[in-house]
Structure 1
């Protein structure tokens, strides 16, 4: 029985372990537009160093009543809107996907309190293959978006 349990645990580790190790998060930060805002967002660089495509399919945090994956799209009149991306964001093998201001991001709606500069928030990202990854993300209200190229 012990050997059977050990073999099952090893098989599960082989299936989950390598995929999770293939996802790397870099330069993550979060912010709200102003001190009393009811919404905020998190941005980061997600690298897939593996040889299998993956997908960010969900995010969760106790900082807000709802946490969703969002992007900006232009409507027929050229007006930008934020919309939920229910299917998540593809993270191709050997590539990087940026969550950035004005683009794809993690959206916090109905904040439970202020996002103060220098605070740290806990966010769990769920990937289709790599599974869950919990991050401590700094709140940085001073950071300016990267220059448009």
Structure 2
């Protein structure tokens, strides 16, 4: 037991690196997608949908393929855009994530729509979200996030119905 207590942190780290390298693991080659400041808009009773927002940064050129959550029957990635002073919103197949560049999913651009909610999302609830990201090499990464529900400061158009066209 004393031998374990006398191990210097530096030698432990060195040994760990040697073991990892001998095992064929490249510690720097692991691509990673980071999600920052995830949140979901709280709802009122009976509201059928909500939005989820976050900032995503991928280490390598990647694509956000999908988002899922057990709180909704249907989860889609949408984009809001302005064309000739007309706001349009609708689903997109994917969101490009250029290497090292933070991509915001916010109410004014790309965002996640949680449709067919299983119940009310109350302020302070933690909403689980699962993001599927694919990098340029074709490798898929699954990122699990817990997004707190926040009260809406301004009303958001929640008239998203799976049967509605945009």
Partner of residue 122, structure 2: 116
2:30 is paired with a residue of what secondary structure? helix
Match of 2:63 among 55, 59, 62: 55
Match of 1:18 among 30, 47, 55: 30
Partner of residue 98, structure 1: 104
C-alpha spacing 1:94/1:33, structure 2 compared with 1 (3 Å): same
Deviations 1:84-114 (A, max 9, x none): 001x111101111000112101110111100
Structure 1: gaps spanning 5 or more residues: 1-9, 145-149
- Normalised by the size of structure 2, how large is the TM-score? 0.68
Deviations 1:36-73 (A, max 9, x none): 3211011001112x2x2001010001111100110113
Work out whether 1:137 is the aligned partner of 2:147.
yes
Which consecutive aligned stretches of 4+ in structure 1 deviate over 6 angstroms post-superposition?
Answer: none
Structure with bigger gyration radius:
2
How well do the aligned residues superpose, as a CA RMSD in angstroms? 2.5
2:150 is paired with a residue of what secondary structure? coil
Shift of 1:81: 2.4
Distance 1:94 1:138 in 2: 25
Partner of residue 79, structure 2: 71
Distance 2:89 2:44 in 1: 18
Number of positions where the alignment pairs a residue of Structure 1 with one of Structure 2? 128
